[in-house]
Amino acid sequence: MNIVVTGATKGMGKAIALLFAKHGFNVAACARTQADLDTLKGELIALHPSATIITSVCDVSKKEQVLQFAATCKSAFTKIDILINNAGVFVPGNIHNEPEGILEQLIDTNLYSAYHLTRALVPDMIKHQHGHIFNICSVASKNAYDAGGSYAISKFALYGFSQNLRHELKQHKVRVTAVLPGAVLTDSWNGTQLPASRFINVDDVAKLIYQAWEVSDRTVVEEILIRPMEGDI
């Protein structure tokens, strides 16, 4: 089995890559920093010594780099079972006064990356009548909140992309799941004074994604909505 994960060297992406490798998957991973990819590759091989591990430096906000990563994945794997569109960036702000260009930056990273990578890889899934696409959205995809700004706009858009993709691909037996986490303890929260107990653990997100993958082909988990036990932050 083969999985593709974007933004795979930190947070949720890394937890997902490690868990699937532990379960015997070959992994294609991208991120922006070669050193982080080298570290990840070592950890993946330690979990699954016989695995094929593909790592690529990729800034997913750049279409040409996304398409190059897609070409690398297709060259390495005869088929792709799972695509995890995880890469994203969070910039807090308010629509009326956030810096110029923030919307474009967040749409490029949080939406267009998933759009272009999916379009590049899904034809083979359709050909095989098999595959599962997970789009890492957010609770911000459904509810407005303070300082959401363009981040929330981009995540609303990614959720809409997921819904329409699910509708289009059901006839081709390709599953689509939108994952909507609340506050997850990742590098985005560096410096916070809140205790770890107020956040979702990245491993819990990875486990739920794996469980959604494990259900039979006659079933699809369309959404995974996850919040900290004590509620949103």
For residue 41, give the CATH number of its domain. Answer: 3.40.50.720
* Residue 98, domain member (yes or no): yes
Query: How confident is the model over 2-31, as pLDDT tens digits?
Result: 999 999 999 999 999 999 999 999 999 999
pLDDT of residue 93: 86
* Residue 175 CA from chain centroid, whole number: 15
* Residue 93, domain member (yes or no): yes
Collapsing DSSP to helix, strand or coil, 2 comes out as strand
Distance separating alpha carbons of residues 168 and 162, to the nearest angstrom: 10
Low-confidence residues in the chain, pLDDT < 70 = none
pLDDT of residue 83: 98
* Residue 196, domain member (yes or no): yes
User: With contact defined as beta carbons under 8 Å apart, do 58 and 30 qualify?
Assistant: yes
User: With contact defined as beta carbons under 8 Å apart, do 20 and 43 qualify?
Assistant: no
What's the CA angle centered on 110, arms 109 and 114, to 5 degrees?
95
pLDDT of residue 10: 94
| Total domain count, the chain | 1
* Residue 86, domain member (yes or no): yes
Q: Is 151 a catalytic residue?
A: yes
Q: What is the Rg, in whole angstroms, of the alpha carbon atoms belonging to the chain?
A: 17
| Full residue range of the structural domain in which residue 118 is found | 2-226
pLDDT of residue 233: 80
* Residue 231, domain member (yes or no): no
Active-site hit among 112, 115, 151, 159: 151
User: With contact defined as beta carbons under 8 Å apart, do 17 and 95 qualify?
Assistant: no
Distance separating alpha carbons of residues 32 and 168, to the nearest angstrom: 31
* Residue 37, domain member (yes or no): yes
pTM of the model: 0.95
Distance separating alpha carbons of residues 69 and 121, to the nearest angstrom: 10
Distance separating alpha carbons of residues 95 and 51, to the nearest angstrom: 45
Q: How many CA atoms lie within 13 A of 221 on its CB side?
A: 17
* Residue 233, domain member (yes or no): no
User: With contact defined as beta carbons under 8 Å apart, do 10 and 186 qualify?
Assistant: yes
